[in-house]
Structure 1
Amino acid sequence: MSASQSPIPLDNTMGASLIGVICASVLYGVSCVQTWYYFNHYRNDVWYIKSLVGAVWLFDTTHQILISHTVYYYIVTNYGNPNSLGHLVWSILLEVLFNGFIGLLVQGFLALRVWRLSNENIPLTVTVVALVLAEFASSVAFTVKSMRLQTWGELGQLKGLSITVNIVGVVADILIAGALFFFLHRSRTGFKKSDTMISRLILFTVSTGFLTTICAVASLVSILVWGHTLIYVAFYFGIGRLYSNSVLATLNARKSIRGLGEEDTDELSFSLQSFSKSGSKPMTSSRPTNLSIKIDTMQDYESRDSRQQEPESAATDGSFH
């Protein structure tokens, strides 16, 4: 979370918090619809994907309740009571922890995709995981320390820690999005439909990573430039909602994205047979992993369909082995 630097005139800047809650509420409504859609269309998913969706929705709901309580406390409960504006309400401090939980789950899920798409690149994966854990640890530390404080002025003591949370989050998002973009782009097979599927995955990766990064940067800049206001919360309140919607959108798009790649399965199989008979190499040495990635993906689809289970493409659990 982001902390203020000095006593905050809440009577002048609580409007920013209200805007943040309204925007977060809209995004929460979208995530609820996406969660409902997921459990109605992907009932045969493996248990850990279902658990991920359930946990993200639960933390999302808790976070929405907390930030709504914060604004209600200052604007409604203590309306006309200016003395209460200088004191911290517990809900705005505790919401940091649940935003951290959402980030941990979603970024951890994306780290698993990086691990699989990179052919189990240990240095890269360790770096990503370290950043994800550092961001979560910073959120926990901020929550624990801030719960002991009483006023907004005292919260300024945690300025360094709040900035750290935002910076680490930005770096982690950029690294994850960049890694996924690189490995997905390298996985192109040369077949039109398959490349269209991969392009769609790249679009999802870049767009979702871009939105969360922009929101975190805006929150960070707001602290540094307008640290005496609550403008930063208009951005920070929405970060967790963007995380949850990004992972839900990716999971719910699996069938449509998979369909793009399955259309050229026959073309790929014919080409492989031709390569086998002629003894020619199907791919150049500059892209040695592309063919194996596509083959494994197709085999994964076929084996899962034969068991009447939902397929898990790289858009979901990073099944590009």
Structure 2
Amino acid sequence: MISERDVPVHPPATAGYHVIGYFLNWGFFGALCVQVFLFYWAFPKDRLFLKLVVYGLFALDIIQTALITRDAFFKFGTHFGNVTTFASLENLWLSVFVINAISGTIVQLFFAYRISVLSKSRILGGLVALLAVAGCAAGMASGIRAKISPLTNLGTIAISTKTEFSVWLSISAACDILITTSMVTILSRNRGTGLNPETDHAIKKIIWLTVETGTLTTVVAILTMALTIAFPEKAYCNILMDIIGKIYSNNFLVILNRRIRILDGRSNITQSATQQDSFRFSPPTTKRSGTSETTEVKIERQVWPENNYSREDDM
């Protein structure tokens, strides 16, 4: 039976990794807010199911950020000076283990559905869904075990939950690899038809984006697991554990929002150093090309010389 003395933890040394994790979580949450706004603005006609997935993920991330903010205020605000709180569990079992597991699983289940539809194979989609659910169960189990554990510091808790935690991240990484491989294979089969070069180019961009986002979540999961197992008392893993869910959510929105094409953007306009600009979004329009559909968001740019600017120009 592991005891607190078996894993020496220096609480002040873990504080810095907590702070980095908190800052990154808030930064990714800010990026997610922008992504959700773009989705809301550009795709009002998307199916209700897709909207529920997007806004459901956003709600989970709001809850997680609120819990992490509460922990940060507890450790560095109300209990500032009490170094033992730096290595305490607090809401970590819920904000990191449970919510991250649920967020990742929602994204993976969505891709399981897409794979099932695109490949017309329920077996392949079912396998992805099975891995996603199994990973979620392991993640929630590790969070629950951490919560009910009589241990008090994160080092000993990390060792006591090592099995569940390793299973969760291993299955999650395997699921991401299967999703990436399946999507790239399915999309590659639809390229090179010669029917529409614009469609082929769009598919190529989707393939590269799928590889990039899938690789990112896989690497983060594997690296988090390795840091937790190798250095449980150092709290290195806290940096990545705080942002796993946000990475899944942001990657998901990046893939959805890639349907946006900005007209009259930076590449089409040259600007004098003595001019001022203002930008505003125009309502999105949908453009069809072959089998693909693109939403265009036009940015209207107003330019005027600084010397000639007056309040009358706003009228």
Where on the TM-score scale, by shorter chain, does this alignment land: which range? 0.7 to 0.9
Aligned-partner Cα distance in 1 for 2:28–2:102: 17
Q: What is aligned with 2:161?
A: 158
Q: What is aligned with 2:244?
A: 239
The one-letter code matched in structure 1 to 2:31 is V
Higher strand proportion: 2
1:1-321 aligned within 5 A: 6-89=7-90, 91-95=91-95, 96-119=97-120, 121-150=121-150, 151-152=152-153, 153-188=156-191, 189-190=193-194, 191-256=196-261, 262-263=288-289, 265=290, 297=291
The structural deviation recorded for 1:155 is: 4.8
The one-letter code matched in structure 2 to 1:101 is I
The more displaced of 141-150 and 248-257 is 248-257
The structural deviation recorded for 1:176 is: 0.4
SS at match of 1:256: strand
SS at match of 2:64: helix
The Cα RMSD (Å) is 2.6
Query: CA, structure 1 residues 17+173, in 2 after alignment: closer, same or farther (shift >3 Å)?
Result: same
Check conservation: 2:61, 2:246, Cα contact below 8 A: yes
Question: Greater relative contact order (Cα 8 A, min sep 6): structure 1 or 2?
Answer: 1
Q: What is aligned with 1:279?
A: none
Query: CA, structure 1 residues 48+30, in 2 after alignment: closer, same or farther (shift >3 Å)?
Result: same
Aligned-partner Cα distance in 2 for 1:23–1:83: 23
SS at match of 1:227: coil
The structural deviation recorded for 1:7 is: 4.8
Check conservation: 1:9, 1:85, Cα contact below 8 A: no
Aligned-partner Cα distance in 1 for 2:13–2:32: 31
Q: Percent identity?
A: 26
SS at match of 1:147: helix
Query: CA, structure 1 residues 54+7, in 2 after alignment: closer, same or farther (shift >3 Å)?
Result: farther
Query: CA, structure 1 residues 137+225, in 2 after alignment: closer, same or farther (shift >3 Å)?
Result: same
Check conservation: 2:131, 2:172, Cα contact below 8 A: yes
Which runs of 5 or more structure 2 residues have no equivalent in the other structure? 263-284, 297-315
How many pairs does the alignment contain?
A: 264
Aligned-partner Cα distance in 2 for 1:198–1:154: 45
The structural deviation recorded for 1:128 is: 0.8
Aligned-partner Cα distance in 2 for 1:230–1:208: 26
Aligned-partner Cα distance in 1 for 2:23–2:88: 23
Higher helix proportion: 1
The more displaced of 18-27 and 140-149 is 140-149
After TM superposition, the score normalised by the length of structure 2 is 0.77
The structural deviation recorded for 1:27 is: 1.0
The one-letter code matched in structure 1 to 2:132 is V
After TM superposition, the score normalised by the length of structure 1 is 0.76
Q: What is aligned with 1:280?
A: none
Check conservation: 2:15, 2:86, Cα contact below 8 A: no
SS at match of 1:194: helix
Check conservation: 1:16, 1:233, Cα contact below 8 A: yes
SS at match of 2:9: coil
The structural deviation recorded for 1:40 is: 1.7
The one-letter code matched in structure 2 to 1:193 is E
Query: CA, structure 1 residues 52+78, in 2 after alignment: closer, same or farther (shift >3 Å)?
Result: same
